[in-house]
Amino acid sequence: MKQLPTGLQVFEYIRTSGAVYVDKTDMIYKIVSEPRKQFFISRPRRFGKTLMCWTLNALFSGKRELFEGLAISKTDWAWEKYPVIHLDMSKVETDCGIDGVRETLTRQLKKVAAGFELDTGGLTTPGSILDEIIVETSKKHGKPVVVIIDEYDSPFVEFFNKPAMAEEIRGIMRGCYSQLKANESHLRFLFLTGISKFTKTGVFSKLNNLNDLSMDESFGTMLGYTEEELHGYFSEHLEVVAKKWNMAVDELSDKIKYYYNGFCFDGIHKMYNPFSMLNFLHSGEFDNYWMESGSTKMIADYMKERRLTVEQFRGMFVSRDFVRDPGEIETTPAEGFLYQAGYLTLREKVDRDYLLDYPNTEVLNSMSRLVASNMIRSGGGEFMDFRTPLIKALSSQNSEALVEIFNRLLAGIPYDDYVNAAKQAIGFGGKITTQEWLYRSTILAFLRGCGVLTFGEMHSSLGRTDLLLIYNNIPWIIEIKIARDNDCAVKAQEAMAQINGRQYDGPYANAKKLAIAIDEGKREIGEWILE
C-alpha cells in the first residue's frame, strides 16, 4: 500500500518517495501545449495549488523521469528544459507591516536571483529585481523563462480585516507584478495561483492577457479529488478505514461523501479537499480538518463583527458576474469573502445565475460552531459548558434538560446580537417572521456546532418542520412558535398541532415530537410539549 502524501507538496518528492500521486497531467498538458501562455487559477487554501506549481516546475525543468507512467508521458510533449523562476508569496512576512512585506519580498527575489548567479546588489525595489531576473536569465540561457507564482495574493489577503493596509500592500505587489507584462516577450509560460479572484482592476490591471481557469469547466477537476479519483487511487486506504469502522466500503463512502464532498468551482464538478481527505484516510476519524487548518479566530472575528449567521448564506442566488468577479477580498460583501475563501461554494447553475452554499457537512458544522461559540462567549459562557449537557440530554432522551440547554443558550445571547442579526436577516431576504428565523438559526447553528446531525426546515409531503435532529438514531422533530401576548401555552399547542396535522413524523417510526413556544419579551422558551 502506497504512502499517503499527507503534508507533501513538492511533486518531485512525492514521485521519488513512492507516495500516492493523483495524476492531473492530462489537464496540465492541455495548458502547457496551448498557444496561450499566461494562466491563473484561484482555489481555497489547502487545495493542491502548491503541488500544481511544483509539478509545472518539474515539467519545464525537463525532469522527464518523474513523469514516467503519467498521462503526459503518453503525449508529444517535447521535454525541453527552460529556466524556471518559482516564487511562493506565502513566504512574504506580514507580521511587521508594510516595511516587513517589502523587505521579505525583496529578500526572496534576491535569493532567486542568486540561484541564477545574477548580481542585483544595486537594485532596491521588488519590481526592478524581478525585471532583472526575467531579462538577464532569458539572455543568459538564450531562451524565454517560465515564471510560476504561488499564492500571489497571500500578503494582502492576510489583511482582509484592514482594507487600507491591504490596498497599500496590493500597491507593492502591483509594482512587482507589472514586470510580467513589461517582459512578456521574455516569457515562455506564466502560471499564477491564489485564493482571491483575478480582477482586472487589481494587481493585474496591466496583465490583460492572463487567462483565468478558475471557472473553466475543462479544468474544474484540476485541483482536488473527484469521487472516481478517491476510489481509484486510495482504494486500499478506504478498505483499512472501513475495517476500522466495521462497515462495508460502500457504506463508508456514503458517509465520506456526505461529510467531505461538495466543493464546486464551475457549477458542475464536485470535489473533495485533498487536505481533509488525506488526514481522514490517515486517522480514520471524521473531523473538521480543513477548517481547523486555517485561522479560525480570524474567520470567527469576521463573522462576529458583521453579526452574521450561518443560515443567511444557505441557498443564496448570485449572478454569473459576481461569481467571476466578486471584488477585492477585503472590500467585497460577506458572501464574496466567504466564497473566495472557500467557506461557500457553487452548488449548481440556474440559467445565468448560480446557487451558493456551504461545500459540505465539515464546513457547515465548523462554521456553525464558530458562530455558536461567538454567541455563547458574548454572553460570558464557554462552548464546552453548553455542549456537554446537551450531549447528556440527548443520550438520555431527557427533553426537560434539552429545553433547559436551549434556554441557557438563548439567555446568553446579548440583546444587541438579536437586533443586529435580525437586521442582517431582513437584508438577506428572510422569508418568514424574522424573530422565528433568528431563534431557529441560533439553535440550528448550536446543534450543528456540537456535531449533532441537524437539518433546518426539513421537507415532508405536507410542509416542513423547523428542526430535525438525529442522535443515536433517535429523531427529534422540533417546531418553534413565537409568543407575543403571554400566550405561550396556546402557541406550544399550535406547534404540536402543526407537527401532527402535517405528519412531520411520518418518515420516522420512533420520532420524538417537541413543540416549543418562545416568549418574545423574555427571549426564552416559555412553554413546551413533548409527544
- Comparing C-alpha atoms, which of 529, 456, 455, 515 is closest to residue 481? 515
Residue 289 · residue 16 · CB < 8 Å: no
The answer to whether residue 272 sits within a structural domain is: yes
Q: How many domains does the chain have?
A: 4
- Comparing C-alpha atoms, which of 473, 488, 503 is closest to residue 403? 488
Asked if 491 and 435 sit in the same domain, the reply is: yes
For 93, phi and psi rounded to 5 degrees?
A: -80, 135
Asked if 379 and 501 sit in the same domain, the reply is: yes
Domain range enclosing 486: 362-530
Asked if 209 and 337 sit in the same domain, the reply is: no
Last residue of a domain, one of 219, 235, 252: 219
The answer to whether residue 137 sits within a structural domain is: yes
Asked if 411 and 478 sit in the same domain, the reply is: yes
Residue 367 grid cell: 462554521
Tens-digit pLDDT profile for the chain (531 aa)?
Answer: 999 999 999 999 999 999 999 999 999 999 999 888 999 999 999 999 999 999 999 999 999 999 999 999 999 999 999 999 999 999 999 888 889 999 999 999 999 999 999 999 889 899 999 999 999 999 999 999 999 999 999 998 888 888 889 889 988 998 999 999 899 999 999 999 999 886 655 676 667 678 999 999 999 999 999 999 999 999 999 999 999 999 999 999 999 999 999 999 999 999 999 999 999 999 999 999 998 887 777 888 888 888 788 888 888 999 988 998 898 888 889 999 999 999 999 988 888 889 999 999 999 999 988 888 877 776 667 778 888 999 999 999 999 999 999 998 887 766 555 555 555 554 544 444 456 777 888 888 889 989 898 888 765 556 678 899 999 989 999 999 999 888 999 999 999 999 999 999 888 888 999 999 999 888 889 999 999
Asked if 106 and 184 sit in the same domain, the reply is: yes
Asked if 178 and 263 sit in the same domain, the reply is: no
The answer to whether residue 231 sits within a structural domain is: yes
Question: Helix axis angle, 434-449 relative to 415-427, nearest 10°?
Answer: 110
How many CB atoms within 10 Å of residue 447?
A: 28
For 155, phi and psi rounded to 5 degrees?
A: -60, -40
Q: For residues 364 and 449, give the distance between their C-alpha atoms in angstroms, rounded to a whole number.
A: 8
Last residue of a domain, one of 163, 188, 219: 219
Asked if 410 and 424 sit in the same domain, the reply is: yes
Residue 420 grid cell: 443586529
The answer to whether residue 299 sits within a structural domain is: no
Q: For residues 315 and 345, give the distance between their C-alpha atoms in angstroms, rounded to a whole number.
A: 10
Asked if 169 and 232 sit in the same domain, the reply is: no
| Predicted TM-score (pTM) of this structure | 0.89
Asked if 169 and 251 sit in the same domain, the reply is: no
The answer to whether residue 178 sits within a structural domain is: yes
